[in-house]
Amino acid sequence: MSQAFSPPERNVLYRVIERRRDVRAFKPEPIPDDVLQRILTAAHQAPSVGLMQPWDFIVIRDPVTRARIKQAFLRENQRATGNYADGRASLYMSLKLEGIEEAPINLCITCDRTRGGAHVLERNTILDTDLYSTCCAIHNLWLAARVEGVGVGWVSILTEADLRAALGIPPHVLPVAYLCLGYPREFLDEPELQQRGWARRLPLESVTHQERWPDEHIGTTD
């Protein structure tokens, strides 16, 4: 007997994947506790190397902490602006790249690099598999939030040091993602960066190869 889900169930999953967006503009409505709980449960069901489950979820509501993180973002964003010239710099500055203070919840997802002891099953060769596992949890969370109508925005324009200091994260734990969660003003039909002309999704054919790395491969978005 087929283990596949029924066509309507499959369609829902593919639609959720297609309709997930990175969200930076939020309404002020709070996220009910049961909704947050379901989203975190989905994240916690992610695959992880040796069942290491290296993640922790720090739920941040305190406006004082969020104001501090926002200041850290503004500093780093200013620095990043210097990486672009002319029209690209002004387009960069016009992009909204965070919703730290307007989202009702911020969430820092960390990776405890020592969890499970020195020799976690399956993690003796590629030590970064704990980080990959944490990213799996983040993506589960992102998709679960989408079915709940909750928007998620990943803010990576923050230094590790700023996050450690603001959230008291110890040295053996790495902050992997800083996320803003809330009900979105809208879920766009396509990535905002594509809509604004910053980058575009590559054709699937250009990143799919048969048997080995191709002799000629242009891996840019230009």
Ligand X SMILES: Cc1cc2nc3c(=O)[nH]c(=O)nc-3n(C[C@H](O)[C@H](O)[C@H](O)COP(=O)(O)O)c2cc1C
Closest CA to 206 of 222, 189, 190: 222
Nearest approach in angstroms of CB 170 to ligand X is 23
- Rounded CA-CA distance 99/153 in Å is 7
| Residue number, 127 or 202, with CB nearest to ligand X | 202
Nearest approach in angstroms of CB 98 to ligand X is 6
Residues 55, 56, 57, 62, Cα dihedral to 10°: -140
Nearest approach in angstroms of CB 57 to ligand X is 17
Nearest approach in angstroms of CB 94 to ligand X is 12
| Residue number, 141 or 155, with CB nearest to ligand X | 155
| Residue number, 104 or 153, with CB nearest to ligand X | 153
- Rounded CA-CA distance 19/150 in Å is 12
| Residue number, 114 or 195, with CB nearest to ligand X | 195
**Which residues make beta-bridge pairs with 180?**
106, 153
Closest CA to 199 of 22, 7, 20: 22
From residue 117, how far is each of 24, 113, 154 by CA, in Å?
Answer: 38, 9, 29
| Residue number, 81 or 156, with CB nearest to ligand X | 156
State residue 214 phi and psi, 5-degree precision. -70, 155
Nearest approach in angstroms of CB 3 to ligand X is 29
Interface positions with ligand X (CB under 6 A): 21-22, 24, 97-98, 153-157, 191, 193
Contact partners, residue 132, CB within 8 Å, separation at least 6? 49
